[in-house]
Structure 1
Amino acid sequence: MENKPKPERRERSKEASCERGRDVSQDTLCEKAEPKPERMEAGPTAQRNGRLVDQYKIQESMDLANVGNNLANKGRYSEALHYYSEAIGLNPGEYRFLGNRSYSYERLALYKEALADAERSLELQPNFIKGYFRKGKALKGLKRYSEAISAFQRALSCDLNRVEAAQEVADCQRKLQELKISTRENLPAPLNLQPVPAGSLGNNNNTVFRSVVYTRSNGGLPAARTAPPSVPAAHPRPGSR
């Protein structure tokens, strides 16, 4: 008999919890049935969700770019290109990703692709110093030394302490000078236009000389004129003395 009150307390607690559960469910139904006007505005919520998605993409692109940087530092440029491209796909407005991919392209001797990425990075950020340096390296690989010098000099104007850019300028100037010298040496020798001395053609009666004249009948076009063959000198007949 003494233990009977204890189950009653437990039953009361269960009933109280059930009542609380019913109250909560009813409140929830009421909120859904009669929502307040403020909760119906989806604009701020959508914007907040959009910012969260953008932040996720940005963070993921940074992670991918860091993987690409680690691979590039190890000389695994082909693999680094994949991660840089994935990062650019998630965050196309990040100019540094394009500069890093341009570096990998240049190391793989894909100079046209390296130049395209470098120029795109400079469109996004005109003051991107490494962008001018990457552009100069790509132009140098394409043997467009004059344009490469201009790009490296632009990098120097932004950062006077950039020793690598100064070295690249000197190297491009040397290669440009070598290219000019090799081009000059490969030019054909000039033709010898000195007049032919008289009598050097021999005394061949069958030689035909042609000269070019301009007449009105052919509209000022050159016409060939054949000189008459020379008549051999007469020899005395035997016994004519």
Structure 2
Amino acid sequence: MASPTRLDKAVSQVTDLSRSDAKRAAKAQRISVNGEVVTDPAAKVQTSDALCLDGGPLLKPGPCYIMLNKPLGYVSATKDPEHPTVLDLIDEPNKGRLHIAGRLDIDTTGLVLLTDDGQWSHKVTSPTYHCEKTYYVQLADRIEEAAVAKVARGIWLKNEKRRTKPARLEILFANEVRITIGEGRYHQVKRMFAALGNKVLVLHREKIGDIPLDEGLREGEYRLLTPDEIASVKK
């Protein structure tokens, strides 16, 4: 059995409150344990106890995995002095502990994964695991059929010493494509099409690994990942 924990520590672990904030909340009669108000922040609680803050139940501590449909204008960062961040769209306990598994530029939309599980995040982002990312791209000019083979061979990017790894390009329309890459170089998709003499106008991430963006999520909305989605990264 796990050892008991101080009330203020237990509350701070599952909320955005600091230990000091949790102490003040207890003394202000805002915290209950198993239905009873507890004002002593040093009171011992068990992991099986039901904690509530201001009448709302607090989730047990544990890994969190989130899928977000990122809109334009948001940066993939936890803090930014000039722009809203993807964390501003999240309303979950202890969201400050989340980090972004696969960032997107401010002018790119689509699938972003957030988690507080460092090992899981590493498998999404590390080049060692070759986690593929799929994007819908709208280009300034018509794309030539020859680009499919060029992308499959690898593209020489400006100021790079090696080609990109083989990628898959599907032409959807004259200037619309879907591209799947297995690495994450700086602004890679934009630079690949620039090397092909084209310019990206719209970039939208549709899929990471085996996790597609939920079509039911509108821009700015998020949901927790399913157990199968979480397990697909852990394979």
TM-score category (smaller protein): under 0.3
Using CA pairs under 8 Å that are at least 6 residues apart, name the structure with larger relative contact order, 1 or 2.
2
**TM-score, normalising length: structure 1:** 0.24
Q: Structure 1 or 2: larger helix share?
A: 1
Instruction: Indicate the structure (1 or 2) with the bigger Cα radius of gyration.
Output: 1
